[in-house]
A and B are shown apart, each in its own frame.
Chain A
């Protein structure tokens, strides 16, 4: 209310916030206000124009999923084909392979990659020594700043027959013959999952650590007096205090299940592991950009984003049930 009082332009309108005035008068009031605020409105307009061009026109462009778009057409002239593209998707073996790979890798990432940052954050939180704590944090954040191209290049080097990985296994006596596991399709899901965890686990601790720093230390003191062990304190104090942020993270992760990392796949996929490496995003890329089948690729992309929104809403519903009906979103 203070804000309104300061601004002279709105002072006149606040008399009638229910909009009971006739439409003509309201439009007039809007125009008068808008012109009075033109200077600040001029800062917003470029943003609105940007969103219309770069966000809303592509959303409108999704209609080509229902058309048969070829190079000679424009968006407007391409003939409508209804749900034909979606019908083809259902019988497309390569699409379903990509779905299986996407879900396989995503669930591995969810199952392992979701828990590790929580554990890591608790471990770092429990450290007493300031120097070592800072060192661990610095080191664990570092891989996040490598691009997937750089990390992909590194992985290819590490896994080559003369590289670090084979060398370690040989000297430990785990294997007797060096083997490039990037060429082993059966291991690809694990490579994709574990390399992603290596890259992002440390970074994932930042938010958890920030939340833990806010826990009232008297809880721990009281628990200590009651004779609770360190693990018990973690279980009964630390984890419950992080419940809402963990649910929020879980919702966001679940909604992203189908959007597996495109950069990672493009750099790690090769002719040997393709069957296990192709994910939905790389399939969209291949169908659309390499083979020029724009309508089909768009249909695949649209289908995936619809499922993602459904996942988001469902995950939000489930976690809010678990959190005493408090929605985190």
Chain B
């Protein structure tokens, strides 16, 4: 009997050790490339041209960041990114919460039709070209509002909020109604404060989406003063790609400078997300579960 238990213990310990080793490898595979990008962005042009380092740069320098920050475009792009993300998130969450609250009431007239309309939008869409033609005819091309208005609504988020509102006890609403409160009052003063966790989760996902979105700009914006950081970065990448293609006889100095600028822009573009990430991390899991539990 003792021998059997000991053998199981040994098996189990081998399993644990292998498991930990494999997971350490996984984290290394994720962290080393990211670390390499960060130290490369702080490397001098000479170090970048020679390359050949993985964990530590032979020559540190701030010249890449100086070049990026001296460019007026990056400040403008940062401003656009920040404003489209904040305005976009606030309006999206409020709009979805409003519709979700309305639809969470089972007694409303026409509810079945509304929900059916919403579900259809989850599976069918007009796709790229008809949407482009619509945006064009609405006069939203080259307008800041193209970042905000088409992104106001997502039926998926409406469903999540709707389910959340439904779990709030009915008695709260009833007692408020007896006190003479209207639906808008109940929604704004009672349900919104109670639903902060659900709304924070949606705000987080939507915020990351807004910050990372680049297709909207690529499709609808040609005015450079409306470019967000992602689009700036894309332009730099395309530019450096074409340069390295035509590198025959081309200037290596220019190439390493664009590479440095590209790396610094990558770090700057990602920094806000990485800074917010640890603060909001605990919301992810509850948020994913909210999304998964649908009736």
Q: List 12 A-B contacts (CB under 8 A).
A: A47-B114, A55-B120, A55-B126, A61-B129, A64-B130, A138-B281, A145-B212, A147-B230, A149-B269, A150-B270, A154-B33, A164-B54
Checking A9, A142, A153 against B277 with a beta-carbon cut-off of 8 angstroms, the contacting residue is A142
A235 interface residue per 8 A CB criterion? no
Q: B27 near A284 (CB under 8 angstroms)?
A: no
Q: A43 near B101 (CB under 8 angstroms)?
A: yes
Could you say which residues of chain A place their CB within 8 Å of the CB of B40?
Answer: 157
A47-B95, A47-B158, A167-B51 in contact; A145/B130 too (CB < 8 A)? Answer: no
Q: B53 near A231 (CB under 8 angstroms)?
A: no
Could you say which residues of chain B place their CB within 8 Å of the CB of A42?
Answer: 184
Residue of B nearest to A32 (CB): B109
CB of B278 to closest CB in A, whole Å = 8
Q: B102 near A284 (CB under 8 angstroms)?
A: no
Q: B30 near A162 (CB under 8 angstroms)?
A: no
Q: A146 near B270 (CB under 8 angstroms)?
A: yes
Q: A301 near B127 (CB under 8 angstroms)?
A: yes
Q: A301 near B23 (CB under 8 angstroms)?
A: no
Could you say which residues of chain B place their CB within 8 Å of the CB of A209?
Answer: 285
CB of A300 to closest CB in B, whole Å = 9
Q: B37 near A154 (CB under 8 angstroms)?
A: yes
Q: A43 near B132 (CB under 8 angstroms)?
A: no
Residue of B nearest to A211 (CB): B292
Task: List the count of A-B residue pairs having beta carbons below 8 Å apart.
Answer: 277
Q: B8 near A227 (CB under 8 angstroms)?
A: yes
Contact flags (1/0) for A138-170 with B, using CB distance below 8 Å? Answer: 111111011111101110111011111001100
Q: B266 near A154 (CB under 8 angstroms)?
A: yes
A279 to B152, CA, bound (A): 29
Residue of B nearest to A34 (CB): B109
Q: Which of A15-23, A94-102, A103-111, A124-132 lies at the binding interface?
A: A124-132
Within 8 A of A (CB), among B170-218: 170, 174, 182-184, 187, 208, 211-215, 218
Within 8 A of A (CB), among B4-46: 4, 8, 11-12, 15-16, 19-20, 22-23, 26-27, 29-34, 36-37, 40
A43-B187, A58-B131 in contact; A162/B51 too (CB < 8 A)? Answer: yes
Checking A61, A143, A210, A272 against B288 with a beta-carbon cut-off of 8 angstroms, the contacting residue is A210
B259 interface residue per 8 A CB criterion? yes
Checking B53, B266, B289 against A150 with a beta-carbon cut-off of 8 angstroms, the contacting residue is B266
Q: B183 near A40 (CB under 8 angstroms)?
A: yes
Contact flags (1/0) for A193-205 with B, using CB distance below 8 Å? Answer: 0000010001000
CB of B159 to closest CB in A, whole Å = 12
**Partner-B contacts on A (CB < 8 A):** 2-4, 6-7, 9-10, 30, 33-34, 37, 39-44, 46-48, 50-51, 53-62, 64, 75, 120, 123-124, 126-128, 132, 135-136, 138-143, 145-150, 152-154, 156-158, 160-164, 167-168, 180, 198, 202, 206-207, 209-210, 224, 227, 229-231, 245, 262-263, 266-267, 270-272, 281, 284-285, 288-289, 294, 297-298, 301-302, 305, 309, 312
A145-B273, A206-B284, A210-B288 in contact; A58/B153 too (CB < 8 A)? Answer: no
Q: How large is the interface on B (under 10, 10 to 19, 20 to 34, 35 or more residues)?
A: 35 or more
Could you say which residues of chain B place their CB within 8 Å of the CB of A7?
Answer: 107
CB of A134 to closest CB in B, whole Å = 9
Checking B121, B219, B285 against A51 with a beta-carbon cut-off of 8 angstroms, the contacting residue is B121
Could you say which residues of chain A place their CB within 8 Å of the CB of B213?
Answer: 147
Q: A141 near B132 (CB under 8 angstroms)?
A: no
Could you say which residues of chain A place their CB within 8 Å of the CB of B269?
Answer: 147, 149-150
Q: B130 near A47 (CB under 8 angstroms)?
A: no
Q: B215 near A263 (CB under 8 angstroms)?
A: yes
Residue of B nearest to A122 (CB): B19
A156 to B240, CA, bound (A): 10
B108 interface residue per 8 A CB criterion? yes
B237 interface residue per 8 A CB criterion? yes
Q: B234 near A149 (CB under 8 angstroms)?
A: yes
CB of A269 to closest CB in B, whole Å = 10
Could you say which residues of chain A place their CB within 8 Å of the CB of B131?
Answer: 54, 58, 61
Could you say which residues of chain B place their CB within 8 Å of the CB of A289?
Answer: 128, 132, 219
CB of B148 to closest CB in A, whole Å = 12
The 3 lowest CB-CB distance pairs between A and B, nearest first, are: A162-B51, A58-B126, A61-B130
Could you say which residues of chain B place their CB within 8 Å of the CB of A298?
Answer: 127, 129-130
Given contacts A62-B130, A75-B133, 17 further A-B contacts (CB under 8 A): A30-B109, A46-B98, A47-B98, A47-B114, A54-B134, A57-B134, A143-B34, A145-B273, A145-B274, A147-B211, A150-B269, A158-B36, A162-B50, A162-B52, A164-B54, A210-B288, A230-B15
Residue of B nearest to A297 (CB): B129
Residue of A nearest to B232 (CB): A149
A34 to B109, CA, bound (A): 6
Q: B107 near A44 (CB under 8 angstroms)?
A: no
Contact flags (1/0) for B48-72 with A, using CB distance below 8 Å? Answer: 1111111000000000000000000
A46-B99, A47-B95, A289-B132 in contact; A284/B127 too (CB < 8 A)? Answer: yes
Q: B215 near A262 (CB under 8 angstroms)?
A: yes
B77 interface residue per 8 A CB criterion? no
B167 interface residue per 8 A CB criterion? no
